[in-house]
Amino acid sequence: MDRPHGDAAISRHRDLLASLLATGQARGAVRADIPADLLAALCDGWMMMFPIEPDRFTPDRVQALLDAALTLIAPSPGASGTSSG
């Protein structure tokens, strides 16, 4: 099945999210020990599963997923927010 428009939209979404995360990393608001594109990839599963199992994405569950994602990308307390390597 050929889906060039869908693939392009997903790619743009992923690139935009990675860019936002990179900006957050530069500001120290997002952990910098994991590249922004890998942090953005964490959302790939949500994008894949939502059309298949939309009933699993209740408002409460979406909020819980967002809360968990924010916890995972937050810098550690006292961290400088910059990568050490």
| pTM for this predicted structure | 0.72
**Rounded CA gap, 14 and 9, in Å?**
9
Other C-beta atoms closer than 10 Å to the C-beta of 80 total 10
pLDDT in tens, the chain (85 residues): 455 566 788 788 889 999 999 999 999 999 999 999 999 988 888 888 889 999 999 999 999 999 999 999 999 877 654 444 4
Q: Is 81 left (phi over 0), alpha (psi -120 to 50) or beta?
A: left
